[in-house]
Each structure stands twice: as C-alpha cells, then as structure tokens.
Amino acid sequence: MKVFGIDAATWDMIKPHRDELPNFDRLMEECDYKTVTVEETPKSAPLWTSIFTGLRQSEHGHKDFVVDEELQKREDIDGTFVWEELENVDSKILQVPAVIPPINYNTSYEPEGFGVSSDLEELEADRKKLMQKSKEVLEEDPEFFAVVFMQLDRVSHFYWNDKELILEWYKKMDEVLGELLEYYDFDSDEPLIVLSDHGFAEHGEGRVQTLPEETPHGTLEGDHHEDAVLITKNVDFEIDQPEDVGKAILNHFN
C-alpha cells in the first residue's frame, strides 16, 4: 500500500491546469477522486495525526506543532499511529508532519530547514532531497509506504497571490508524483492513496482562519481551506473525513 501526501494541495489549482499537470491528470483518469471537506480544524498537525491514527481530533487531542509555547513531541499525542499497530507489516514512513521535525519510521531523513523553512531555495532543495529519499525507500518495496511533502503549504502561505509561482510549484509536485508513481503498478490491485490534509485559499475564504495574516516571518497571503484533495485506487473503504484514511489503512492490512 502506498500513501503520497501533498500538504495543502487544492482542486482549485489542479483541475483548471490538468493539461499542465500530467501526473495529476493521469491519476484523475485512472483513479477515483473527490473532495474531503474537513469538519474539524483544518490545520496540518492535527489533520495528519488524524489521517495516520484513524482518530478524530477530538479523540487524539493534538492541536498544533506548538502548544503553550512548547514544541510538541510524539509522546504528547494521545493515540497510536497505524504503523505502530501494524507490527507484522514491513512499513516505512517518511516525514509525516504531525510534529516538528516530521515523523519517520523504519527509515531516517533530516529535512532542510528543520522542516519549517519558508525560503524558496531551501524548500526546493528539500523537495528534491525528499523525492530522492522516497525513491530509495520505494526500491526496497515495503508493504506499506507513506510520505508527505510539505513544501507546497509553505509556498502557498507566502506567495498565494502569485499564481504563476504557485502553478510552478504544482508542476514541481506533479513531477514528484511522476517519479513516485514509477513504483506503482496501475494494473495491480495494490491500494494507492494520494491526498492533501486541507486545501488552500485567500485569507477569509475558508470556514475558519487558522493562522494570523501578520507573522514574525512576514505577511501571509493565503490560509488553509477545509476542502482537501483525495485520490484513491483499490481502496475498499469509504473515506469521508481525514480519520477514515487511517481506518482504510488498518482495514486493508487486517
């Protein structure tokens, strides 16, 4: 089973540009796809925790990367991640941003900029580095592989109004998908999930504002939106909310 996460990906950028995003286009041609409208808080840390524990935010209680000025750790999350439950499954997990730095399991990776950079050059270096690391892990053919790319979220926060730049980053993420899909056989019955934790929009367009417009790092042009991307193939489980992804993973292996 393969799970490819692209933090902050939105259909609002993908659907109008399918002709420029050949791998997203292929996925939409050959897989099922839908919008998952997040009912709880559309923030990365609690959402990726829900996605990979099968628990709602109200159940695992994890709210953010930093709580009461304390950087949160894995030990602060009240819940079991799916790979921790799948003891007899060869699982390799890369860069799940439930905490900072992101979680790895049965493999190692050190992100550029501690995983929180907003520098475009550093983000691009991290994208390429994580893509290469993902390919190396996929060469080992684990039974369960998951990776999350965070770079699009960082770029969207600071450059959302520069749609040419944003589209260039969607093309970069499309390239990532193309490289990773080389390790997926569309004619097989192996489950595939490609998803975002939340979508993206201008400040004020989402159901709730998740981040202030003015930050110590500069003005944010965009904010999280509750409409997330979901693409699946060979997944025999209905996914309507983020926590259903974790349930689908456990359902497959159990």
Amino acid sitting at position 245: V
CA pair distance 126, 240, nearest whole angstrom: 31
Indicate which CATH number applies to the domain containing 129: 3.40.720.10
pTM: 0.95
DSSP string, 92-149: EEEEETTSSSPEEESS----GGGGT---HHHHHHHHHHHHHHHHHHHHT--SEEEEEE
Residues 129-138 have pLDDT tens digits of 999 999 999 9
Question: Higher-confidence residue: 181 or 205?
Answer: 181
Residue indicated by tokens 């202030």:
212
User: What's the total number of domains in the chain?
Assistant: 1
- Minimum mean pLDDT among 17-31, 89-103, 147-161, 216-230: which range? 216-230
Amino acid sitting at position 192: L
List all residues 6 or more positions away from 11 whose beta carbon is below 8 Å from its beta carbon.
35, 199, 227, 229
Say whether pLDDT at 206 is over 80: no
Say whether pLDDT at 216 is over 70: no
Residues 56-115 have pLDDT tens digits of 999 999 898 888 888 888 888 989 999 999 989 999 999 999 999 999 999 999 999 888
Give the residue numbers spanning the domain of 17.
Answer: 2-253
Q: How many residues does the chain have?
A: 254
